[in-house]
Amino acid sequence: METPVDRAASIGPLALVATLAAACDRPPPAGHGQEPAGEARATGSPPHAAGMKPMRKIEVLVGGCRDDCGEPRLAAARFIDATARDPAAAVPFLDTTSLMLDGVALGARWADQWKETRAATRKDEIARTAADLAGWTTGLGAEQVKAALTAGPRPLKVWTTEARFEFDPPGAAAPWRIVLRPRGLEWLVVEVVRSAGGSPARD
């Protein structure tokens, strides 16, 4: 009976060389040095990045004016500018936990509303207050508004814990008195008095 050794010997040297050369041309089996099909190359992002859920946007409840209110003079000027531009833009400049407007403690009421989970009511009242503060531009021409913004609020006293300003809306019976205090890294408006009969913060 012919054995495998006898069969290999009968092939001859040239046939054996041809057989080995053909074997070298075959692709290696999967998993031996080849990159698996369908796997992304390294691109700086993990393979699962495409499937990650976006972070939920967190609403800022107090402040949010950031660089626009990093110091009191800038904060007061940008606040007045925001009231003339868009009432909603003025909201981030308000300390909604302690705002006093013409002697009314709105901030305390809004804080209670938040505790009572009346967030929608609180949000609506804040929006209406911002629109009320923007009312100084009503009936004014563009040049009058521009002149008032150029003059801006005048600093009365600026401490490390509080700053007070006056602002003269054209046609108003008395200048506004505006008080700001720091909350974290932001200077926020804590009081606005728009009439001579109001009661601003005491010394």
* Domain harbouring 164, CATH code: 3.10.450
Number of domains observed in the structure of the chain: 1
Quick: pLDDT tens for 109-132.
999 999 999 999 999 999 999 999
Using the predicted structure, report yes or no on whether residue 108 has a pLDDT greater than 60: yes
Quick: pLDDT tens for 169-191.
999 999 999 999 999 999 999 99
Higher pLDDT, 51 or 106: 106
Paired tokens of 32: 């031996």
Quick: pLDDT tens for 73-83.
999 999 999 99
Average pLDDT rounded to a whole number, residues 47-52: 54
Distances in whole angstroms, Cα of residue 75 to Cα of each of 22, 62, 183: 80, 15, 12
Distances in whole angstroms, Cα of residue 137 to Cα of each of 83, 97, 146, 194: 8, 26, 10, 14
Domain assignment present for residue 203? The answer is no
pLDDT of residue 195: 84
Domain assignment present for residue 143? The answer is yes
Domain assignment present for residue 170? The answer is yes
pLDDT of residue 134: 97
Domain assignment present for residue 152? The answer is yes
pLDDT of residue 84: 97
Domain assignment present for residue 1? The answer is no
Range of the domain at 132: 69-193
Average pLDDT, the chain: 81
Higher pLDDT, 62 or 177: 177
List the one residue out of 138, 130, 131, 193 whose CA is nearest residue 170. 138
Domain assignment present for residue 39? The answer is no
Please name every residue paired with 101 in a beta bridge, in sequence order, or none if there are none. Answer: 104, 192
Quick: pLDDT tens for 11-43.
454 444 444 445 445 554 444 444 333 333 444
What are the DSSP calls for 89-146, one per residue?
HHGGGB-TTT-EETTEEHHHHHHHHHHTT-HHHHHHHHHHHHHHHGGGGTT--HHHHH
Domain assignment present for residue 42? The answer is no
pLDDT of residue 120: 96
